[in-house]
Amino acid sequence: MQKHQIQSIVRIKHRVNTTDSNHSLTLAENHLNRDFTAARPGQKWVSDLTYIKTEEGWIYLTAVLDLADRKVVGWALSETMEAEATTVAAFRMALSNKALSGGLLFHSDRGAGVRLSCL
Percent of the chain's residues with pLDDT above 90 = 23
Which comes out higher in pLDDT, residue 75 or 102? 75
Q: Give residue-wise pLDDT tens across range 8-61.
A: 777 666 666 655 556 566 666 766 677 778 788 888 888 988 889 899 988 999
Q: Give residue-wise pLDDT tens across range 56-80.
A: 988 999 999 999 899 999 999 999 8
Would you say 44 and 30 are in contact if contact means Cβ atoms under 8 Å apart? no
113 Cα distance to chain centroid: 10
Which comes out higher in pLDDT, residue 76 or 5? 76
Q: In whole angstroms, give the CA distance from residue 88 to residue 94.
A: 10
Per-residue pLDDT, 112 = 47
Q: Is the pLDDT of residue 1 over 50?
A: yes
Binned at pLDDT 50, 70 and 90, residue 7 comes out as confident
Q: φ and ψ at 107, to 5 degrees? A: -120, 130
